[in-house]
Amino acid sequence: MADLQPISVALEALLSDVRALEPESVSLEAAAGRVLAEAVTAQLDVPPFDNSAMDGYVLRASDAGKWLPISQRIAAGSPAVPLVEGSCARIFTGGEIPPGADCVVMQERVTQEGDRALIPDALPVGDNVRRQGRDVSRGELLLSAGECLEAAALGHLAGQGITQVSVRRQPRVALLSTGDEIIDPGTPLKPGQLYNSNRPMLKRLLENYGAEVVQLVSVPDDYAQTAMLLTQAASVADVVVSTGGVSVGEEDHVKAALASLGQLDMWKLAIRPGKPLALGRLPREDGSEARFVGLPGNPVSGFVGAWLFLRPLMGALLGCPALNALPALTATANFTTQTGPRQHYMRVALRFSEEGIIAEAFEDQNSGVLSSCISADALAVIDPHQQVEKGALVRCLWLQR
Ligand SMILES: Nc1nc2c(c(=O)[nH]1)N[C@H]1C(S)=C(S)[C@@H](COP(=O)(O)OP(=O)(O)OC[C@H]3O[C@@H](n4cnc5c(N)ncnc54)[C@H](O)[C@@H]3O)O[C@H]1N2
Ligand code: MOO
């Protein structure tokens, strides 16, 4: 088993010389889920003016505790004029605080009769006033490069009036399914065949990691066809991902084709599932190269391999640290297990209880049992040659995006 490489060595081989892809400009509407290529500095204060947090009356705090004439009405969106001393103004949430005023009292606390209002006593200066720049100050860092543009970040950019953003080009991925026994849903199964479950699963995972899946190819168990389809895939993709055909059988042609066309950087890892995973490079005609990740055919090996390798690879290509680092937590095992020479990534459901986070392992951890991934919240990482008892603390990779 000495030839099995630990995951740290494999990740180093995969990521050491990966550079972030070039930036491109997209409209804010098209930027959801994309990764910022450059930091954005705030050009505006948000909110851009002092405004009211309540529907009510705006005044000088020093005038509180009296009947005051109502000298103006300030709706959100209409400009305010300076407040006459000894008066108050009717104001609505979001309305501009007029120059001279310094606090707002909510209308439930005020008695209004005609055009005057009885204001309660002892109002603090600044009460119910949302100060200009409270959220964002002009000149400050709004968002860092590498930020993935999810809901709040998109709102933050829009709050600056921004319409175009510089984001990383999405990694283009070709997804190859090998195996004569694998067919697409839609055709009846013949004896010995099974449907391609890896394809939609990996496509979805890759898209979650920010990739654009540009090619879906079925590859027969034939060396020449495998070599031809790998070459074609490398010509259109930054990353070529295959499933199956990386083990030791005579019908496993992927590794041999990769080694003869390009470079096999790593094969056989000390991880379970995913042992025969292969990493390498495929040359393109222009002298550049596509990265290659050969996942084993067993669906769970693909699912786990995608999390361990494709997610960090997409993170590196997108310059996105949040994708690069796998979120982890510690949980209490509600299972017992004994590992062999490989580090085991066990599918577990997490239960948040008063005693802390409990990890419940799926009963059948075989790499062909994809149902173990359906309700998996995390992968409990158990080092080689460990005996884990119930109640032990285990490190878990939290399966999020
Ligand atoms: N003599 C040995 N045999 C095997 C070893 C070994 O060390 N020595 N390793 C085993 C391990 S571990 C794994 S993992 C598998 C990986 O083999 P391959 O990557 O070559 O995968 P295949 O043989 O092509 O397929 C494995 C399994 O998965 C099914 N499969 C493949 N593709 C799909 C798909 N797209 N959708 C659904 N299911 C798929 C395939 O039919 C096989 O049942 O090798 C072991 N063997
Ligand atoms: O490494 Mo394999 O993925 O255990 O079945």
Q: What is the DSSP string of 82-118?
A: PPPTT-EEEE-TTPBPPTT--EEEEGGG-EEETTEEE
At 46-98, the pLDDT tens digits run 999 999 999 999 999 999 999 999 999 999 999 999 999 999 999 999 999 99
Domain 32-45+134-168 classification at class level: alpha beta
In CATH, 7-21+171-324 is 3.30.300.30? no
The residue type of 55 is D
Domain boundaries, the chain: 7-21+171-324, 32-45+134-168, 51-130, 328-398
At 303-339, the pLDDT tens digits run 999 999 999 999 999 999 999 999 999 999 999 999 9
Any ligand 1 atom below 6 A from CB of 242: no
CA–centroid distance, residue 26 to ligand 1 (Å): 41
Give me the interface pTM, i.e. the ipTM.
Answer: 0.98
Any ligand 1 atom below 6 A from CB of 194: yes
Rounded CA separation 216/233 (Å):
9
At 259-274, the pLDDT tens digits run 999 999 999 999 999 9
Q: Closest ligand 1 atom to the C-alpha of 301?
A: 14
Any ligand 1 atom below 6 A from CB of 299: yes
CA–centroid distance, residue 274 to ligand 2 (Å): 4
Give this prediction's pTM: 0.94
At 162-203, the pLDDT tens digits run 999 999 999 999 999 999 999 999 999 999 999 999 999 999
Determine which residue's CA is closest to atom 5 belonging to ligand 1.
247
Q: Closest ligand 2 atom to the C-alpha of 301?
A: 3
Q: Across the chain, what does the average pLDDT equal?
A: 97
Size of the chain, expressed as the number of residues it contains: 401
Any ligand 1 atom below 6 A from CB of 197: yes
- CATH topology agreement for domains 7-21+171-324 and 51-130: no
Contacts 24+ apart (CB under 8 A), 203-209: 203/175, 205/303, 205/306, 205/307, 205/310, 205/311, 206/173, 206/175, 206/241, 206/306, 206/310, 206/314, 208/401, 209/306, 209/310, 209/311, 209/314, 209/315, 209/323, 209/401
Determine which residue's CA is closest to atom 10 belonging to ligand 1.
247
Ligand minimally distant from the alpha carbon of residue 296? 1
Bridge partners of 376, per DSSP, are: none
Asked whether 96 and 87 are in contact (CB, 8 A), the reply is no
Assigned fold of 328-398: Beta-clip (2.40.340)
Rounded CA separation 174/196 (Å):
16
Cis omega (within 30 of 0) for bond into 124:
no
At 118-145, the pLDDT tens digits run 999 999 999 999 999 999 999 999 999 9
CA–centroid distance, residue 247 to ligand 1 (Å): 7
In CATH, 51-130 is 2.170.190.11? yes
Determine which residue's CA is closest to atom 39 belonging to ligand 1.
297
Any ligand 1 atom below 6 A from CB of 198: yes
CA–centroid distance, residue 24 to ligand 1 (Å): 39
**In this model, does residue 1 exceed pLDDT 70?**
no
Any ligand 1 atom below 6 A from CB of 130: no
Average pLDDT over residues 294-305: 98
CA–centroid distance, residue 244 to ligand 1 (Å): 6
At 31-48, the pLDDT tens digits run 999 999 999 999 999 999
Any ligand 1 atom below 6 A from CB of 296: yes
Any ligand 1 atom below 6 A from CB of 244: yes
Any ligand 2 atom below 6 A from CB of 296: yes
CA–centroid distance, residue 42 to ligand 2 (Å): 49
Q: Ligand 1 pocket test: pick from 180, 222, 247 the residue with the most ligand atoms within 8 Å of its Cβ.
A: 247
